[in-house]
Structure 1
């Protein structure tokens, strides 16, 4: 479900649910919440890289077994994902997302939360959560692309190409898979500052609004009928098993 390798200061975290588009099942989220902080407890680690096995980076919230989950179950899962996004946003190390294929929903939010956000030309981003009333990762997306564009993407359910994402600031580079290793070697050199300084720079450059973000998520998900709203959204045209 998840593989961690550490080499030359790089902690590479690979999502290993390719058959499900690396969608975020509860146990995968819990593994990420456990593994990520442990990577930056290693003083030798200066960069954490998130990537997905197979064609897709992460297709978002896993809907498998939706009919067996209560509104409360789903709310708890969204809360855990919000905590994961905040963890990445405030990490005391450099964070990198290697987006590919479908980078949707909470997967797109994970990418947006990272410092460096790489896509290939075939990558497509979508933020469908607003379609079933969920406010997740919104402020961080707005910080990347601006408030107006973020609201437009969220309310219109826009599918965003890699080139559009680059122009808007959602991604920082477009790198094809065959060029990725060379890019990583050239671009991810050891920073000139330590983890404590990186954490201090994050605190100085971005307000700590974790509580407000979590409250916004809970308010949006607390309306009764969450499961039905998600099921209705997933049944619409162009929605697959994950969103």
Structure 2
């Protein structure tokens, strides 16, 4: 008998209800910011869901929001090489989610930034509560993470406007752009999950794999990782992050 999967990292809760797996980011005191440990726990959980041939993979966040994105709390103590690797591992996670045979559902709420917004964008179904807000400021410190994926989702011109101005957009704008599919409050999410699970169960994992491969751009993954590596590895990433964070305080 296969035992239920358990994350060894307390920053990620994994609930396996049959073929529906729920991954809950569990760092509410850090607004679910993506530490290196949390990213690795997410990668391991996605791999386990794949191996278990889960039908549906749900991403959600504990506390006030889904995710505040990259965890900058200790970046000064990391080498530039360490920081580059952390960004690469986030892109690795995003590509795993983009390519998984599982159906994916993001349930978002609260203030969400950067790589946290990328985690929402990569899911094939995206639902948010009315209080949700989104912002992707990575290009302000020279990081091209999620840019191509956002463009593919909402269109190049719309993505350009959002990213060039590092704009905050609310659920009304997100729904208009197609970034989210619907606005549903958390008390309605159980019905959303039930419907998503029913839809996911209509196809087996092999059929879902064919569907995802034939409705996506195979060159996107290589472009995304190349842009991320070039941008993150350009000399001075720590100084760029420091200047960005200082400007955000002023």
Q: Under a length normalisation based on structure 2, what TM-score does the superposition of the two structures give?
A: 0.92
Indicate whether 1:93 and 2:76 are aligned. Answer: no
Residue 52 of structure 1, aligned match among 41, 44, 61 = 61
- CA apart distance, 1:71: 1.2
- CA apart distance, 1:238: 5.5
Q: Distance in 1 between matches of 2:56 and 2:41?
A: 18
- 1:64 maps to 73
- CA apart distance, 1:150: 0.5
Indicate whether 1:235 and 2:246 are aligned. Answer: yes
Gapped runs of 5+ residues in structure 1? Answer: none
Indicate whether 1:81 and 2:90 are aligned. Answer: yes
Residue 109 of structure 1, aligned match among 118, 129, 135 = 118
- CA apart distance, 1:188: 3.0
Indicate whether 1:219 and 2:241 are aligned. Answer: no
Indicate whether 1:160 and 2:173 are aligned. Answer: no
Q: Distance in 1 between matches of 2:188 and 2:180?
A: 17
Q: Distance in 1 between matches of 2:94 and 2:165?
A: 23
Segments ≥4 residues shifted beyond 6 Å = none
Aligned length: 238
Q: Secondary structure at the match of 1:97?
A: strand
Q: Distance in 2 between matches of 1:63 and 1:191?
A: 39
Indicate whether 1:196 and 2:206 are aligned. Answer: yes
Gapped runs of 5+ residues in structure 2? Answer: 1-10
- CA apart distance, 1:173: 1.3
- 1:33 maps to 43
Q: Secondary structure at the match of 1:58?
A: coil
